[in-house]
A and B are shown apart, each in its own frame.
Chain A
Amino acid sequence: MSPLRPTPPPDSDAVGLQLDRRDFLQTMAASLALAGLTGCSHPPQEEIVPYVHAPLGQIDGLPRFFATALLRNGYAHGVLVENHMGRPTKIEGNPQHPASLGGTDIFAQAAVLQLWDPDRSQAVMRREDVTSWEAFGAELLKWSARFDQTHGAGLRVLTETITSPTLSSQLDALRRKYPQAHWHVHQPAGQEQALAGARLAFGEPVSSRLHLDRAKVILSLDADFLSDPAAGVRYARDYIAGRSPEHQGNTMARLYVVEATPSLTGAMADHRLPLQCAQIEIFARHLARRLGVANVVEDGLDARQTRWLDELTRDLQAHRGEALITVGPAQAPWVHALGHALNATLGNVGATIEYSNPVEALPGESGSLADLVGAMRAGSVDTLLVLGANPVYDAPADLQFAAALEKVPHLVHLGLYRDETGARAEWHLPQAHSLETWSDALAFDGTATIVQPLIAPLYEGRSAHELLAALLGESQQRGREIVRRHWQERLDDAAWAAALQTGVVPNTALPTRSPSLHGDALERALPPLQAAAALELLLRPDPTIDDGRWANNGWLQELPKPLTQLTWDNAALISPELAARMDLSNGDIVEIRLRERARRVPVWIMPGQAAGSITLHLGYGRRRAGRVGDGRGFDAYPLRTTGEPWCARDVQLAKTGDRYELAGTQHHFNMEGRDLLRTGTLAGYLRDPHFVTRADRYPGAPPSLYPDYPPGKYAWGMSIDLNACIGCKACTIACQAENNIPVVGKEQVRRGREMHWIRVDLYHEGPAENPRTHSQPVPCMMCEHAPCEVVCPVDATVHDSEGLNVQVYNRCVGTRFCSNNCPYKVRRFNFLQYVDKEADTLKAQRNPEVTVRRRGVMEKCTYCIQRIEAAHIEADKGSRRIRDGEVLTACQAVCPTQAIRFGDVADRQSAVAEAKASPRNYVMLGELNTRPRTSYLARLRNPNPALEEKT
């Protein structure tokens, strides 16, 4: 059975729901007692605790997959959740979901750890006392009685971005019932500016949808579309589709990026122009002028930038209808508007970019957080219902939300954690996790997905739906009824079941439309030019913990930030020039002063950072995140204002002389001229397809003294396409989730003891002001002549007939010679007891198919041997061969761009064999004659010849 085939959900109530938590933990006992390698005493007596009633359709010991959706900024990411005996253990992308197509981002992978996080809110709290939902229900009755008189005056609901049709209809119902009540939306890293830009351009909010696969020339104005919260995974797939010469008739899309701080997208660019945020606006005006969109005042760019601009303009004009200009969420509304106008003039609308009605539910006039705070100050808010949001921590500093709360008698907070806001609330209500609740949500294109629970709430959590239902005084308050009722007329029972099984409600994508430009409005909207400030401060959501909501997630905290390889902290990213000017080195603490506010933070020198830009990531410095996240890093929100949420002009920087220890997983970003990561240009490739291996000392592998072993039934191998890798590190965290890889903590990372089985190396090439950046995922190479095996004195790492370099944990005594002797340094060692042996819920998350390693044992990538063996057993039972693609390694399955291929290299037809047949194929350190089974496809760039020589 392919690990990714969703099993049809039985009568949906039976989806693990019959299990109340107690049974459920007991059911786990059998597998739990198995955690860890046995030590020196005899194994403990185990118990088997069978169900009272078995859940329908479950076969004990076999995993099942259920389709549902996880939310990011309110947008749906379709996933399949692997479920072992009622325990969600792993998340995969849903191939049928438009935002996933089988891949996921790092957050979806981490969601399963969040579900099992022991620090989650577990009980209803009134101030500091534990109470119950019943008690809150009683209170609610009193309130609604009052609201009935006042038509809801003084009642306010604050949510994050919402796409859930059910929820928005509930909110409508609420406003119908209580006309005086108000709904506000607060999303720290939301799309306000983009929507405002759309309003400017079209006079109405619209959502745009990019078709990167159709574009030949792409210009990104500070837009990191590869990590777009709503559609990053899908955009990455589309973008790479257009970058594969083999499948595009020897052509590649060309990407121009203008940005202030390096991003994944910038790292993929063929031409990247570092400009301060403010200069990007200027650049946009120039482009607009050149393309005759808006007639704006001329203002000097330097020669190099002008030249860049000229060539770009030429390229864009040469590709009318197959060009694409995209603007980042941090840019001012009118820049977005310009972008829309430019796309229109280039005839891209309908081809590479499409518009539809907004996907997210909009609160309408005066629905912003600012309006709410205004009302709070005015004392006109008597009951504030906060659904999921955490404004006390992440509201812009100038609003002084916490202070305004003083005037609010009743604050009710529904949240996964009793966070900063929950701690201030009169009532804190535990929110059920997405994997515990019934709900629904829309993808970036409006496609709807029914969110179904994988497990009954572990704690007393309830969903926003259930809370609003209670507020509306509705009889049925169970999540399933609420959602089912909403879809009643749309889906009959069969369609409902089908929707649950496939994870998408068919044909719900919003229709595209072509709104007309209000050109004159645009002209009027253009503000007078502001000269760029000497220093500007960029505030961005953190690459791994986002706006702070993931701060208590060990996997994400320890996941190296894609472009700095830092873990567990945020730092102020500064340009090499600035560092030189102020004599700063990594870890020096500086004081960033923005008018009256100042923060002390360590700096990190970021090659490619715009000279005058300082980047600080939001989300750190949490005070009530939980045991993992509290006090980590530096809170950037105090420097954030409603006026300048993303880019604050004229900040001061001062060196303090103090230092701070940052924990990175990579310290050397220069390849030292070694041909580990090979790159070339499209032109060069077409001229000489074999340029990649030309310089190799040996064609193929060097000769060997030893006769080859007879080939096994299969020859497992992997191919990693560096041309497709965007360095998002989803593979790293997927591997961590699949293989029970422990989190070691900042101190251990600093000592160089991180445990990731597949790391993503980062190399810079060229001038530090604007280098080329390359990412290279490095799992075990599965060498046929494995150096690690020969030096192990106890046969703890040996070869099997199918070419796997297996690590037998229970035989390992821990000499570590294997690691010393591994040229690729992919082996990881349990220097201390890293795996948490106490927390029950963490045990419950672990994959029962993978041994939990104890202290003193070496470990490494296994090509997900548990998946290979599962497929093997299924195939062998039927005495058939394993089909190509039947085994997907965790890293391969999650990869948004399908850069990783795995399979039987001996089988000519297999995808991996086909990939390895490409002339771009090469192996790392081949001259050592280790004969790796993991090989790479060289990376290609498609530079504009006119710009190439001078960059």
Chain B
Amino acid sequence: MSDPHLYGVLAEFATAEQLLAAVARARTETRHAVLEAYSPVPVEGLVEALGPRKADRIPFWMLLGAIAGGAGTFALEWYAAVWDYPINVGGRPTGSWPAFLPPAIEMAVLGAALFGVLAMLISNGLPRWHHPLFEVESFGRASNDRFFLLLRAIDPKFDPRRAREILQTLTPLTVREVRL
């Protein structure tokens, strides 16, 4: 019965407060689980309002990056200077570990940064240059001064008509269907 070409129903709001309220209502009234909220600024509490989600792994990935960069570099230095081609440089020991630290530190930082950004983009599903929402006329203001709530069609409890009715009650500026 659900329309395969329907991506979801999108409601546009003027303020963050209205959006927050709408999110709350939508979840209580429809038991809707798959909602998405778009805003020009991060809105505190919005994520929690949208429902339970599994924690972000970004800090973990950055730690991993740091270890990979740092330990990796140090290991490489040790291998090169002690195992592969030991050379007497200025009478210093071949394994001059204090001198090996600086590059390791720099690479640790670099590794962490790279992993962090990648983790952020990937878990955000970015880059994604083509998206159904970009079809929507007014969605352009999501990056300016408008707030949007999207009820996704893939939600088992999704029913286009009902969704529209409820959203209408939330004093949105507009409500429209988003098609694939």
A816 interface residue (CB < 8 Å to B)? no
Whether B93 pairs with A789 at a CB distance below 8 angstroms is: no
A708 interface residue (CB < 8 Å to B)? yes
B87: which A residues are within 8 A, CB to CB? Answer: 795, 798-799
Q: How many Å from the CB of B173 to the closest CB on chain A?
A: 62
Whether A709 pairs with B91 at a CB distance below 8 angstroms is: yes
B131 interface residue (CB < 8 Å to A)? no
B90 interface residue (CB < 8 Å to A)? yes
A784: which B residues are within 8 A, CB to CB? Answer: 91
Of chain A, the residue at the smallest CB distance from B88 is: A799
Partner of B90, one of A707, A708, A789, A800: A789
Given the complex of chains A and B, what is the CA–CA distance between A931 and B87 in angstroms? Answer: 18
B128 interface residue (CB < 8 Å to A)? no
Taken residue by residue from 72 to 102, chain B's Cβ proximity to chain A (1 for < 8 Å, 0 otherwise) reads as 0000000000000001111111000000000
Whether A708 pairs with B91 at a CB distance below 8 angstroms is: yes
Whether A790 pairs with B90 at a CB distance below 8 angstroms is: yes
Q: How many Å from the CB of A930 to the closest CB on chain B?
A: 9
Q: How many Å from the CB of A944 to the closest CB on chain B?
A: 47
Of chain A, the residue at the smallest CB distance from B89 is: A789
Whether A787 pairs with B90 at a CB distance below 8 angstroms is: yes
Of chain A, the residue at the smallest CB distance from B87 is: A798
Whether B92 pairs with A706 at a CB distance below 8 angstroms is: yes
Of chain A, the residue at the smallest CB distance from B80 is: A795
A785 interface residue (CB < 8 Å to B)? yes
Of chain A, the residue at the smallest CB distance from B91 is: A785
Within 8 A of B (CB), among A787-825: 787-790, 792, 795, 798-801
A894 interface residue (CB < 8 Å to B)? no
Of chain B, the residue at the smallest CB distance from A786 is: B90
B91: which A residues are within 8 A, CB to CB? Answer: 704, 706, 708-709, 784-786, 799, 931
Whether B90 pairs with A801 at a CB distance below 8 angstroms is: no
A789: which B residues are within 8 A, CB to CB? Answer: 89-90
Whether B93 pairs with A790 at a CB distance below 8 angstroms is: no
Given the complex of chains A and B, what is the CA–CA distance between A709 and B89 in angstroms? Answer: 10
Whether B92 pairs with A801 at a CB distance below 8 angstroms is: no
Partner of B88, one of A704, A788, A798: A798
Of chain A, the residue at the smallest CB distance from B93 is: A706
Q: What is the total number of residues of chain A having a CB less than 8 Å from a CB of chain B?
A: 20
Main secondary structure of the interface of B (DSSP, over half): loop
Whether A785 pairs with B93 at a CB distance below 8 angstroms is: no
Of chain B, the residue at the smallest CB distance from A931 is: B91
B88: which A residues are within 8 A, CB to CB? Answer: 709, 798-801
Interface centre among B88, B89, B90, B92 (most CB of A within 10 A): B90
Main secondary structure of the interface of A (DSSP, over half): loop
Q: How many Å from the CB of B102 to the closest CB on chain A?
A: 12
Taken residue by residue from 760 to 780, chain A's Cβ proximity to chain B (1 for < 8 Å, 0 otherwise) reads as 000000000000000000000
Whether A798 pairs with B89 at a CB distance below 8 angstroms is: yes
Given the complex of chains A and B, what is the CA–CA distance between A798 and B87 in angstroms? Answer: 7
Q: How many Å from the CB of A94 to the closest CB on chain B?
A: 39
B89: which A residues are within 8 A, CB to CB? Answer: 789-790, 792, 795, 798-799
Whether B93 pairs with A707 at a CB distance below 8 angstroms is: yes
Of chain B, the residue at the smallest CB distance from A788 is: B90
Q: How many Å from the CB of B156 to the closest CB on chain A?
A: 62
Given the complex of chains A and B, what is the CA–CA distance between A784 and B89 in angstroms? Answer: 9
Given the complex of chains A and B, what is the CA–CA distance between A786 and B89 in angstroms? Answer: 8
A790: which B residues are within 8 A, CB to CB? Answer: 89-90, 92
Given the complex of chains A and B, what is the CA–CA distance between A786 and B87 in angstroms? Answer: 13
Given the complex of chains A and B, what is the CA–CA distance between A790 and B90 in angstroms? Answer: 6
Q: How many Å from the CB of B97 to the closest CB on chain A?
A: 13
Given the complex of chains A and B, what is the CA–CA distance between A704 and B91 in angstroms? Answer: 10
A785: which B residues are within 8 A, CB to CB? Answer: 90-91
Q: How many Å from the CB of B87 to the closest CB on chain A?
A: 5
Given the complex of chains A and B, what is the CA–CA distance between A783 and B90 in angstroms? Answer: 8
Of chain B, the residue at the smallest CB distance from A707 is: B93
B92: which A residues are within 8 A, CB to CB? Answer: 706, 790
Q: How many Å from the CB of A800 to the closest CB on chain B?
A: 7
A709: which B residues are within 8 A, CB to CB? Answer: 88, 91
Within 8 A of A (CB), among B132-152: none
Of chain B, the residue at the smallest CB distance from A785 is: B91
Given the complex of chains A and B, what is the CA–CA distance between A706 and B88 in angstroms? Answer: 12
Given the complex of chains A and B, what is the CA–CA distance between A799 and B92 in angstroms? Answer: 10
Q: How many Å from the CB of A380 to the closest CB on chain B?
A: 76
Of chain A, the residue at the smallest CB distance from B99 is: A790
Given the complex of chains A and B, what is the CA–CA distance between A795 and B91 in angstroms? Answer: 13
A931: which B residues are within 8 A, CB to CB? Answer: 91
Given the complex of chains A and B, what is the CA–CA distance between A258 and B78 in angstroms? Answer: 66
Q: How many Å from the CB of A643 to the closest CB on chain B?
A: 64
Taken residue by residue from 737 to 760, chain A's Cβ proximity to chain B (1 for < 8 Å, 0 otherwise) reads as 000000000000000000000000
Given the complex of chains A and B, what is the CA–CA distance between A784 and B92 in angstroms? Answer: 10
Given the complex of chains A and B, what is the CA–CA distance between A785 and B96 in angstroms? Answer: 14
Of chain B, the residue at the smallest CB distance from A801 is: B88
Q: How many Å from the CB of B45 to the closest CB on chain A?
A: 53
Given the complex of chains A and B, what is the CA–CA distance between A786 and B88 in angstroms? Answer: 10
Given the complex of chains A and B, what is the CA–CA distance between A787 and B93 in angstroms? Answer: 14
Given the complex of chains A and B, what is the CA–CA distance between A474 and B86 in angstroms? Answer: 71
Q: How many Å from the CB of A715 to the closest CB on chain B?
A: 13
A783: which B residues are within 8 A, CB to CB? Answer: 90
A787: which B residues are within 8 A, CB to CB? Answer: 90
Taken residue by residue from 671 to 709, chain A's Cβ proximity to chain B (1 for < 8 Å, 0 otherwise) reads as 000000000000000000000000000000000101111
Interface centre among B87, B88, B91, B92 (most CB of A within 10 A): B91
Given the complex of chains A and B, what is the CA–CA distance between A375 and B93 in angstroms? Answer: 80
Of chain A, the residue at the smallest CB distance from B92 is: A706
Of chain A, the residue at the smallest CB distance from B81 is: A795
A786: which B residues are within 8 A, CB to CB? Answer: 90-91
Since A799-B87, A799-B88, A931-B91 are in contact, a sample of 10 more A-B pairs with Cβ atoms closer than 8 Å, ordered by chain A residue number, is A709-B91, A784-B91, A785-B90, A785-B91, A787-B90, A789-B90, A790-B90, A792-B89, A799-B89, A800-B88
Chain A interface (Cβ < 8 Å from any Cβ of B): 704, 706-709, 783-790, 792, 795, 798-801, 931
- What are 9 A-B residue pairs whose CB atoms fall within 8 Å in the complex? A704-B91, A706-B91, A706-B93, A709-B91, A783-B90, A786-B91, A787-B90, A789-B90, A931-B91
Q: Give 3 closest A-B pairs by Cβ, nearest first.
A: A789-B90, A799-B88, A790-B90
